[in-house]
Chain A
């Protein structure tokens, strides 16, 4: 009998990272539900479960702050974090390159332009309203993803340089169009648009979530269900097809689902960059690139990163708050540069 074991194939090692992430996620969730401008109280998240004698210092205002402000914000962070990480991992598999990311490719920018167009036009055009922001962001994201992917795909090989350069160009166009809308927007729209551009969880509310959350939930669940097929795509289109994957259909589905997820995220929280780049990278380091293990962990880490970034964004300039996109960019952009240097070294090795 051979003495070879294959620890990687049958290992349950990845589960420890799942449990650790879940523990940290619950801790951070508790922290974000307990603290805020009206004060800190550890009992807040479980106020409904405690006997009356322990909750004498908590009034209706506190409860309404938790249920109407902090809880939707927490849910938004979880939804946006998981979908951005998941879309990032799926995009990287689609492009066969760990440097691909919806925000760098201009997908987020495309979604934001469409969303901002709706916000800017809503007060002026009677048939446009808030409910159209999420579908508009999805269409914006879908258009850009399809165009960019077609531009960069040459005979089944995705040229990462073309992908990133096209992303730079599209982001520049997006910024110009957003600038144009800002120029003509009224004061209330302008403030909203500024926050949109930099990303913020501040606008979280149950009503806003009803439009974007379904997009995100459909996107993440479907991507999770397709993780085995997307895994095969990482070998390359021809190899995946030889293994029995319907590559053409799968590619269309991934493009659609990424656009759906990013569209939903942008519609609710604006442009939050680099999560889709950084989080899958960390997940790959911890459990390897197999999406069956890596995708669920990416989603957990995405939530975790989003909660952490939101906490930093609220803490650093309290009682005001920074847009969360600034925090993720401050961490994410240097990480991207580090990755570029690493790839360059790899190429010369």
Chain B
């Protein structure tokens, strides 16, 4: 369980996050939505203690500051966006880096990595140099590294926190679903997943709960069908849209409209 209490973040004179509080429970897949600059990535950075903030972040009722860094690393992992590696590690070696907080034998580590590669269908990439992978391939390997870090390949793992900053931004349709399905099932087995997404329909398909951020505050917090409504989204995204129910799943699907005339300004 993650509790964020009165988080405020200021950069220079600009306040990015303003007195933001929420609790993410075990089993929840939470999607952070919001326009560019709403503070989504910054909020994830604060939860990871990557930047200075006021307020408190509690993981399983303990402040993240009192947890030993390596223990914390086994409890919480984050997939960063746009984070390339300049050294020619193989994909398998990069995934194995996720095992850094665990002190295990080389064989045990190889078994875990092997298991993850099979689960995530990364066999074709395992031996490839990560510096020459495409953006999408690299994103899949980095996601697999987060899985290794949290033991997420194991269906018995519970009580952990996975933070994903735009995990599907470079992925094709198939791999968008592979990644989000894996994250969803990880949440369902008793963990917490918080993902920043820009695709509202993916959010609708996978989220248990959506936090819509706007100017550093939680503008709306609720189930997809409560948040994904034209009167909520249009002022934020400043785009015309229609929302219909998905014919099979009965969840809201967003059909956005091109900007025209005055609204283009």
Contact = CB atoms under 8 A, between A and B. Distances in A.
A9 B111 CA distance: 10
Given A6-B114, A244-B69, A244-B73, A98 B86 contact: yes
Interface string A305-318: 00000000000000
A270 to B, nearest CB: 30
Nearest to B122: A4
A9 B101 contact: no
B98 interface: yes
B100 A98 contact: no
Given A4-B117, A9-B109, A96-B86, A242 B97 contact: no
Nearest to A5: B114
Nearest to A96: B86
Contacts of A242: 48, 73, 76-78, 149
A234 B87 contact: yes
Contact of B93 (A98, A243, A288): A288
A8 interface: yes
A250 to B, nearest CB: 11
B85 A243 contact: no
Nearest to B84: A236
Contact of A2 (B83, B100, B114): B114
B257 interface: no
Contacts of B78: 238, 242
Contact of B107 (A10, A235, A239): A10
Given A244-B100, A288-B93, A235 B73 contact: no
Give the size category of A's interface with B.
Answer: 20 to 34
Contact of B83 (A4, A231, A239, A290): A239
Contacts of A222: none
A6 B89 contact: no
A244 B113 CA distance: 19
Contacts of B87: 96, 98, 234, 284, 289
B66 to A, nearest CB: 15
Interface string A215-258: 00000000000001001101110110111111000000000000
B226 interface: no
Nearest to B87: A289
Interface string A39-63: 0000000000000000000000000
Interface string B103-145: 0001101100110011000010011000000000000000000
Contacts of B113: 6, 9
Interface in A282-316: 284, 288-290
Interface string A14-51: 00000000000000000000000000000000000000
Given A98-B87, A239-B80, A288-B93, A4 B123 contact: yes
A317 B50 CA distance: 57
24 contacts: A6-B113, A6-B117, A6-B126, A8-B90, A9-B93, A10-B107, A97-B86, A232-B97, A234-B87, A234-B89, A235-B85, A235-B94, A236-B80, A236-B85, A238-B83, A242-B48, A242-B76, A242-B77, A243-B98, A244-B69, A244-B70, A244-B100, A284-B88, A289-B89
Given A9-B96, A234-B86, A244-B101, 8 more contacts: A6-B92, A6-B114, A8-B92, A235-B94, A239-B80, A241-B48, A243-B101, A246-B69
Nearest 7 A/B pairs, CB to CB: A244-B73, A244-B70, A289-B87, A243-B100, A244-B69, A244-B101, A9-B110
